[in-house]
Structure 1
Amino acid sequence: MSSLSATIQDVFNEPGCGKNANKSEAERKKGCTKQLQPGGAAGGCAFDGAKIALQPLTDVAHLIHGPIACEGNSWDNRGAKSSGSNIWRTGFTTDINETDVVFGGEKRLFKAIREIIEKYDPPAVFVYQTCVPAMIGDDINAVCKAAKEKFGKPVIPVNS
């Protein structure tokens, strides 16, 4: 099998599709009607992947800008060892609601960052953007930049 054929075969390998191994070449190109579940360990939600990748940074605050279910569904997907700070065990979320969807959640996000910095004094804050604020156009990059300038701490946007 040529390198290109192997690459193409990898592209069409969909682990969420139970019938994938039995498909012909033509059927494989049609894709699979069974989609992966959001929040599943094998894809579906970019936020979950970002949180799993960054969760081992245990001394920083992880703030989820989105509905509370986003943090709840991803809670404890990945553990981490820490000889010091346990701030990573605290679930921070802006818990945006219908009003925020209409009017925007940027003010709520800035207030949440301020509260975390004032109460917990972490060396940095990771701010994860979830689907809802991304769809309504919240500019987490601008909010994080303003918070960094105001509080003098790294506030890192994670556009997931």
Structure 2
Amino acid sequence: MVSRAKIKELMNESACSHSKDKKPGEGCDKPKPGLAAGGCAFDGAQISLFPYADAVHLVHGPQTCLGASWETRETKTSYTGRDHTQMGFTTGINTNDVIFGGDKRLDASIDYIMENYRPEAIFVYSTCVTALVGDDIDMTCKKASEKHAVPIVPVHAAGFVGSKNLGSRLAGEAVLEHLIGTKEPEFTTPYDI
């Protein structure tokens, strides 16, 4: 789970003209009457990471979380290979998983994806239900990543943690922590840093 300190840090809207007038940790996610409220943090995380089309995006939660985010699959990508974002993957947890934990179901879902689709990576999104239950997606992803020798990235952006914007930031944090700097590119250009 993401620490409160990290969430407070990410709530600092440096581009917001009135952010300096707010108390520390207070964000800009209060909707105004008549305006679209946007989506939850889970929605923002998916929208931000869907351009990684060579990766499978696995929703660890009830099937309805996958269905609620289906329209975000139109996110464009420049990837020319098999676009995994056009398929929906979920662990589809049920009442028993809520009571006894869904870690085994998550592990089995990752094994199934690797056996049948062989993606370059898997993003595993926590949802409100799995975050509240306390499923340890960090440990499950770490063990599965070692087992399958591909990055399996936990994305801690359960819907209740905040706005779509915060979800985008949490997705970026997951990429920075688990992908950036872990592998050298096959080729570089004069413009690469």
Aligned CA distance change for structure 1 residues 14 and 74 (closer, same or farther; 3 Å): closer
Q: Which residue of 2 aligns with 1:16?
A: 31
Report the TM-score when normalising by structure 1: 0.76
Distance apart, 1:8 and its partner CA = 2.2
Q: Which residue of 2 aligns with 1:86?
A: 83
Contact 2:31 2:37 (8 Å CA) reproduced: no
5+ residue gaps, structure 1 = 20-35
Q: Which residue of 2 aligns with 1:106?
A: 103
| Identity across the alignment (%) | 47
Matched, 1:149 2:164: no
58, 74, 77: which one aligns with 1:63 = 58
- Size of the alignment, in residue pairs? 136
42, 66, 71: which one aligns with 2:38 = 42
Q: Which residue of 2 aligns with 1:24?
A: none
Task: Describe the SS at the equivalent of 2:59.
Answer: strand
Contact 1:62 1:128 (8 Å CA) reproduced: yes
Matched, 1:54 2:67: no
Q: Which residue of 2 aligns with 1:29?
A: none
Per-residue deviation, residues 1-51 of structure 1 (Å, max 9, x unmatched): xxxx94327x686662328xxxxxxxxxxxxxxxx9xxx7624x2111100
Distance apart, 1:53 and its partner CA = 0.6
69, 88, 108: which one aligns with 1:74 = 69
Alpha-carbon distance between aligned partners in 1 of 2:66 and 2:33, rounded to the nearest angstrom = 29
Contact 1:58 1:80 (8 Å CA) reproduced: no
Alpha-carbon distance between aligned partners in 2 of 1:148 and 1:101, rounded to the nearest angstrom = 24
The CA RMSD measured in Å over matched residues stands at 2.5
Alpha-carbon distance between aligned partners in 1 of 2:121 and 2:67, rounded to the nearest angstrom = 22
Contact 1:70 1:130 (8 Å CA) reproduced: yes
Distance apart, 1:76 and its partner CA = 2.5
Task: Describe the SS at the equivalent of 1:64.
Answer: strand
Alpha-carbon distance between aligned partners in 1 of 2:90 and 2:28, rounded to the nearest angstrom = 35
Distance apart, 1:147 and its partner CA = 0.3
Matched, 1:138 2:138: no
